[in-house]
Structure formats: structure tokens, C-alpha cells
Amino acid sequence: MKNKRQTIRLTKLYKKWYTLLAASLLLTLLVSFFSSTPFLKDTEMKMLDYRFQLDPTQEKADTNIVIIAIDDASLDFFSENGISWPWPRSFYGYAVNFLTEAGARSVIFDMQFYEKDIEREETTALETDNIFADAIKNNGKVYLGAQLLKDANYIHPKVNEFSINDKQIDLQPFQGIRAPIEPFLLNNRSIGIINTAPDNDGMIRRVGMFFKLEEHYFAQMAYRVWLDQHKDSKNIEIPIDKDGEYLLNWYGQNAFTTYPFRALISSASAQMNDDEPLLPLETFRNKHVIFGATAAGLYDLKSNSYSKVMPGMEIWATALSNFINHDFITTVHRWIDFLLTLLFVFLIMFLISNFLPKKANLIILMLLIFVLFSNFILWKLYRIQMNFTMQIFGFIIAYLLINTLSYLLEGKSRREIRKIFSRYLHDDVIKQLEDEPDKVQLGGKEINATVLYTDIYNFTTLSETKTPSELVHDLNEYFKKLIDFVFQYDGLLDKYTGDGIMVLFGAPIEREDHALLACRAAFAHEKLREELEKKQELTATENFHLQTRIGINSGPLVAGNIGGEKRMDYTAIGDTVNLAARLEGVNKIYQTNIIISQNTHEQVKEKFICRELDSLMVKGKTEPTCIFEIIDERTDEIDSSKYEWIEIYKQALEFYREGNWQEAGELFQELSEEPYNDKASQVMLTRCMYLLEFPPKNWDGVLKLDVK
């Protein structure tokens, strides 16, 4: 019993909101810790990729950014004309001159020119480099790529002039640089760092904003251009993480207008020869033009959220478009992710522990859909990135933990409940108790309920002709039918009392309609008895039903497990139980089948037609109680005139209580004869005749029972 109580207490304790909140807090702290591990970080990055893929936004890419692609077609074009890779630097000079004339806003080379051009038969390296250098100087808005190195090397003094002083953070310094050669370095607008570092899965998702070379800080390519070309750059806060890295807001595949290099160089050649260029000058007016390689053999292909093969210059095109249009991803603060995960975890644990499984799982499914939908909507509309992995990981851990805990605690509680109640409760009620174990107090609890007792009148005489085995068989068949009525109306079979039963309604699950259920169960048996009275021959079991008497009482009682450590049963005790047992026996006096107490009558009088039989005082009591007999169930089709005789009985009972036994007897006699043949009236008539012959000294109209 002690273990059972402990199990029930634990089952209740873990369902309390404060217990669940404390558990949710600890669990969320654990989830938050694990969400910082490489595996879950990588998983969240994969979730970020899916967000991009679900909602590409090519239309938001800045149309003033164009890409010049050194593609396979351009390589083939020049190769067919006897010019192999690498091309003479003069080609880039001609292209830059064309863009200068077109009025390009900036010219960006995602390429490295840290060595002199190669010598060729038709041109020298000095000649081609000078053509490119002059074009750079003449344009004034050319940005060349530089790569920082871990190992130290010679650093040209001009390099440090391109450093920046704002937004510096503590970074691990590089010791060397692959900078453009001196002719280019002295003439370009600035250099931009083109170092990129993919995530563990090889995907480019972030780029550093700043890089440290010895003691100086340098900007990455797109940021360098934005700082120089846009007046509002000083007033815009770009979101970066603690490592100074910027999360790229990708637009989708082929988001930027791209032209092959051969088309640009052909246009430049045509322009120099006063011919109509293939690409009009207006194509590049006020545009940011980014040069880079897309040919597979040039090894400048990266991977991003949309593609495994992405030209490297799209990184800088995307970043520059983000900066110009303020298309930033807002990563919510970690404490917000923590609170949202805590709320999610708490709701899951509360729902699983306090709701029925079907209802809880349905709500959780809706909650999960809401989380998915809200994450997507916030991403789609505002590019807000919540830590979806943290929320889902919290959901999985919370769901598994609370279900395991429920199984261990409630499973044991369910087994205890089934073990206790399987013998005397309908299986549907047991399932309800298993789902809601809080509704049962195994240790004892005062409740308002209804008690029903049955007994077989004249059982000894009916059983005299039976062998023990026949008698047991007949009783089993009798009880089987009787208990069907009990279970039909959610009664609890408390115990067998020899040839009768004790039944509780409103226990162990408390309910307001306990009296009504008890009366309906009794009346259902009464309908069976009326059918049996019409039969010519009856079996022994049917005779038992014909002779069944029922007593019902409602009121406060104590219900719970009662007994010793080795043997106990769920039962009820109290005066309410005792009176129900007495009322069953009172049927013998009035020759009735169902007697209910005044307390029960008050609760069912709108549903059943009853007549007040008498007032009596059972042994051991000092206060009398009125008793009633159930006559019929109230329905819309019932003929009220059929029961006008009840008013006659009521009038007779009033005369009887007033001591006017002569007039009372006359009315009782009328009811005891045709067409009524009321047996209770015959009993009352006999009593009136006795009282007329032997009138009592003190008359209060109450029948006192001297036996239990």
C-alpha cells in the first residue's frame, strides 16, 4: 500500500506545473549546451540552406551589380584564335578602358595579380602589365583581390595604406599577403581581401568582414567597395558574429546578370575601332562590375546553399548587394532562442503529462506545425533566423523524456489501477482511470456518491432443491446479468454479499449524476423483472431476478483501499453505505422491489416517477428518513393519468401521519384492491387496522426498525 501511495504521489508531483517548469529549464540548459556542439551547429546550417532553397529571392538581387565571367566558352574563343590561358594582361586593360568609357561605378577583380605577366613572342610582360596598369590608373575605381597568408613574406609599404581603422575586433593576425604587383598596387583604388573559409561541409555561408595583417586591419572585397562607394556606409550596422564574420543572404541561382568575358572584350575591340559594340556602353553605366572565373579548369568554384558549383565572385556580388540594400539576415539573440525553446519544451511536457495521449499528441502536432510555419514566415518576410535546430532538438528530447517518465510512473500507476479495479469496474471506466489517475484516491477520500445494495428475497427456499455446483452455476449466471446493468451505467462492483452485491456510483471517478446512474441501473433490472413476470415458466436464474430487491442511498462516504497489508480492497464505508443496506431489507416490509432514500430522491425526482412510501428510523439512528419507491422513468410519451393513484397514496399517507388511521385505511384499502392491487398499500392498511385497535401513546408517524 505504501508503494502504491508513493507511486500515485510521484505521478501527481511530476505533473505539477512548477515541477515541469524546473525540469524544462534544466532540459533547455542541456539543449542549449549541446546546440553549441559542431554537430548541431552544422545541422542548423543545413536548416539555413533549406530556408534559402524554399524561398529564393532573385528579384531582390541588386541589378546594378553585373558579373563578367571568364568561362569555358571564352577560353575556347581565344584558344581558337591562337591565344592560350593565361591571357595577356592587356586584355584586362582594354576591358577596363571600355568600362571607364561606359561609366562603371566600380571595377572589381576577384583575381590575383601578384606576379608579372608571362613573356610572349608578340608582347613582353612589361608591355602588357603597363597597359593594364594605365587602364587601372585612368579608371580610378578598380579594386584588386589580395590573399592573406599564414607565413610571412615581403609586404609592400603601399599595402598598409589600404588598411581600415573602424570596427576592429581582436583577430588572429596573418603574417603575409599575396598583393598585386607594384604597377597595379600603386594605381588601383584599393585592394580587397578575398580569403574565404568554408564550413565543415565545404559550403560557403559566411565571409570575414575584417582581416588582420600584422598590426593592420583590412576589409574583405565587397565591404571595401561598399565603404568607398556608398555615403551611408558609416551609419549602417552590418550584423557580424563574435569572430567578425558576416552571414551571407543568398538570393538564389543566377541572381546576377552575367556576361562572358569574350563578349566584353569583343565590345571593347569594336569600341576602339569605332564599330557598334556587342554590349552597349549603357549596359555598364553606374554598375559594379565584378570579374571572376567560372571555367572549371581555373579552380575558382565554390559551394553555397543553392549549388555545389558556384563561381567565387558571386560571393562578393551577393555581399555587396546585401550591403547596398541592407538585405541582412537577423539572427535572434541566443537568450531569445533559449526562452522560445524553454516555452516549447514546457508546453510539450505539460501537454503529455496532463492531457490524454490523443489530445496531447494532436495539440503537439499543431504546435510543431506552428513552430515550423512561424520560423518560415519570419524567414520569408523579414529574413529572421531562429535556431530551429535548438527548438526541434528540445522538442525531441522533451517528447522522449516525458513519455518515458510517463511510462515509468503512470505505467506503474495504470497497472496498479487495473490490478485494483479490473474485477469490479467496466473496462471503459478502467481506461478512463488509467488516462486520468488523479481522479482516484487509493488511500481514502470523502466523496459524495450513491450506494446500491441488492439481495434475493427468500433465497434459502429457492436454493433448497439445488446441489452446491448447480447453485453456484445459477448464481454466476444471475450475477453476470445483474453486473451488466451495473457496468452499463458506470457502477463500481464493490463486493459480493452472498446472494447480493454492493455497488458504488460516483466512485472512484467522482461525478455529479451518480444518483441518476444508480437509479437507471436499478430500473433497467426492474424492466427485466417485469418481462420475466409475463413468462409461464422460469429458470432458476430467472427466479433469482424475479425475487431481487434493491436499496439505494446517496450521500457522503469514505472510499478507498481498506484492509490489511496482505489483503485489501477498494470499498466504501460510512452511514450512507449502512442506510443503503438497510433500505434493501426494508423492501421485505413493503413488498416492494426498489427503495431509495430521500437524498437520492431529491437528485432523481425530475427523471423518475416515485412515490413516498413512509418515514422510518433505522436502528442506531435518531433522525427519521423518508423512503421512496421508483415507479417509472419520466419520458415525453408517458401517460401521467396512469399514475394518479400515487396522489391517493400520498393523501392516505398524510392521514396516516396525522393519526387519522380510519380515513387512511380506507384509502389504502382502495389501493390494495382492483384495479391497483398495490402491495405496499395492503401493508399500510394492515398497519392502520393495528393502530386503530392498539393506538400508541405518542404518535409521530415514524416507523422504528428494531433490527438491522
pLDDT tens digits for 2-24?
454 444 455 566 778 899 999 99
Check whether residue 324 and residue 337 sit in a common domain: no
Q: Which domain-ending residue is among 384, 417, 450?
A: 417
Q: How far apart are the first and last CA of the chain?
A: 33
Check whether residue 634 and residue 648 sit in a common domain: no
Check whether residue 158 and residue 250 sit in a common domain: yes
Residue 423, pLDDT > 60, answer: no
In a domain, residue 428? The reply is no
Check whether residue 21 and residue 84 sit in a common domain: no
Check whether residue 261 and residue 158 sit in a common domain: yes
In a domain, residue 53? The reply is no
For position 297, what pLDDT does the model report?
82
Check whether residue 635 and residue 650 sit in a common domain: no
Q: What is the 3-state secondary structure (H, E, C) of 380-394?
A: HHHCEECCHHHHHHH
Q: Which domain-ending residue is among 639, 659, 694?
A: 639
In a domain, residue 49? The reply is no
* Number of domains, the chain: 4
Check whether residue 215 and residue 302 sit in a common domain: yes
In a domain, residue 55? The reply is no
As a whole number of angstroms, the distance between CA 628 and CA 667 comes to 19
Which residues are 164's β-sheet partners? 217
For position 2, what pLDDT does the model report?
47
**In the chain, what percentage of residues exceed pLDDT 90?**
75
pLDDT tens digits for 599-645?
999 999 999 999 999 999 887 777 899 999 999 999 888 887 889 99
DSSP H helical ranges for 307-356: 313-325, 334-354
In a domain, residue 609? The reply is yes
For position 385, what pLDDT does the model report?
95
In a domain, residue 651? The reply is yes
Check whether residue 444 and residue 368 sit in a common domain: no
Sheet strands (E) in 400-470: 445-456
Check whether residue 534 and residue 509 sit in a common domain: yes
For position 350, what pLDDT does the model report?
94
Residues 630 and 594: beta-carbon distance below 8 Å = yes
Check whether residue 354 and residue 273 sit in a common domain: no
Check whether residue 292 and residue 164 sit in a common domain: yes
Residue 421, pLDDT > 90, answer: no
pLDDT band at 1 (very low <50, low <70, confident <90, very high): very low
Q: Which domain-ending residue is among 639, 664, 692?
A: 639
Residues 660-683: what's their mean pLDDT? 94
Return the CA Rg of the chain: 48
What pTM was estimated for this model as a whole?
A: 0.67
In a domain, residue 306? The reply is yes
Cβ neighbour number for residue 187 with a 10 Å cutoff:
19
In a domain, residue 425? The reply is no
Check whether residue 324 and residue 399 sit in a common domain: no
Mean of all residue pLDDT scores within the chain: 90
Residue 296, pLDDT > 50, answer: yes
Range of the domain at 649: 644-703
